[in-house]
Amino acid sequence: MIDPRMADRRRTVLEKGARRGIRRAVWLLVFVSLIAGVLWVLQSPMFSVGEIEVTGSDRQDVSDVIRASGFEEGTPLILVNPRDLEDGLEGLPWVRSAAVRRVFPDRVEIDIDQRVAVAWLWASGTYAVLDDEAVVLEYAAVVQAGFPVLQLSVQRLEPGEAHTDPTVLGALEFAAANNGDISGLILREEAGELWATVAGHEVRLGRSVEMPAKAAALAAVLSEGLPEGSMINLIAPTRPAVIPLTPSS
C-alpha cells in the first residue's frame, strides 16, 4: 500500500511539471507569434520599396541592373540584398564602385562612382573609350569632339578590361596632364617613341616617361606662338627645342 504522503508529493510534483510545461508552451507560442508578426510587418507595404534614389549616374545599364536585381517599388526591403546589387553594378565597365543602403521603412539609396571618359583609342575599325586608368568603357564609331585620340597598336580588350601597355599609360598620362587645354590632340607611336600632333605641330615626346613635365613644357612652348608647321622636341622637357619648318625649294 502506497503511503498517502508519498502519493500527495508525487501528485504535487506532476502538477508542477505540467504547469511548467504549459508555461513553456505559452511562451513559445507568444514568441513564435511575435516573430511571425514582425515578419508580416516587414513584408507589408509599409516596409516595401517605395523610393529608389540613385546618385552619380543616370546610365540606362545601371537602371537595368537595379531592376534585374529585384530592387523595384513594392519589393519588401528585407528580401533585397544590397551586396548582390553592389556586385552587379560594379560589374559594369562604367562603374568604378557602388554603395547600396536600405533606409527603413521604404527607401533604397544607391551611390555610384562612375568612371569618366578621357580619351579615344583607335582599335581596328572602331574606338575604345578609355578612362584615366586605361579601362575600356565601351566602343564607339566616332570620336567625341574635344577628346584626345590615341593611335596606338595595342591588343583589343573587352569593355571593363584595362590596358597595361606602358605606351598607352604614358599617352593617357600626357593627355590628362593637359587638363583638356589642348584640343585636337592626337598621339601615336613611331619607332618605339611617342609623337603628338597638336595645333598643326608635330611633337616628339620620346619614351613614356616624365609625361606631366612634357605636357607642361608643350603648353609653355605653344603659349609663345610658333611658326606654322614647326616641330617641337620634348624628349628633354627641361630643354624643349623648336625646329621651324624648312621651306621647300
pLDDT tens digits, one per residue of 69-116: 877 777 787 777 889 999 999 999 999 999 999 888 888 899 999 999
* % the chain with pLDDT above 70: 77
The residue out of 54, 80, 114 marking a domain boundary is: 114
In what order do the strands lie in the sheet containing 186-190?
Answer: 136-140, 126-130, 119-123, 149-151, 186-190, 193-198, 201-206, 231-233, 241-243
Does one domain contain both 159 and 221? Answer: yes
Does one domain contain both 57 and 109? Answer: yes
The residue out of 67, 98, 114 marking a domain boundary is: 114
The residue out of 114, 146, 163 marking a domain boundary is: 114
Cell 531592376 sits at which residue? 67
Looking at 122-126, 161-165, 210-214, which range is the least confident one?
A: 122-126
Does one domain contain both 33 and 55? Answer: no
Determine how many CB atoms are found less than 10 A away from the CB of residue 212: 13
Q: Which domain holds residue 221?
A: 119-243
Task: Quote the pLDDT of residue 246.
Answer: 64
Please give the tally of structural domains in the chain: 3
Grid coordinates of 44? 507589408
Buried b (16+ CB within 10 A) or exposed e, 78-113: eebebeebbebbeebbbbbebebebeeebebebebe
- CA dihedral (212, 213, 217, 223) positive or negative: positive
Q: What are phi and psi of 222, to 5 degrees?
A: -65, -30
Q: What are phi and psi of 229, to 5 degrees?
A: 85, 5
**Predicted TM-score of the model (pTM):** 0.74
Task: Quote the pLDDT of residue 44.
Answer: 46
Does one domain contain both 144 and 201? Answer: yes
Whether 159 is covered by a domain: the verdict is yes
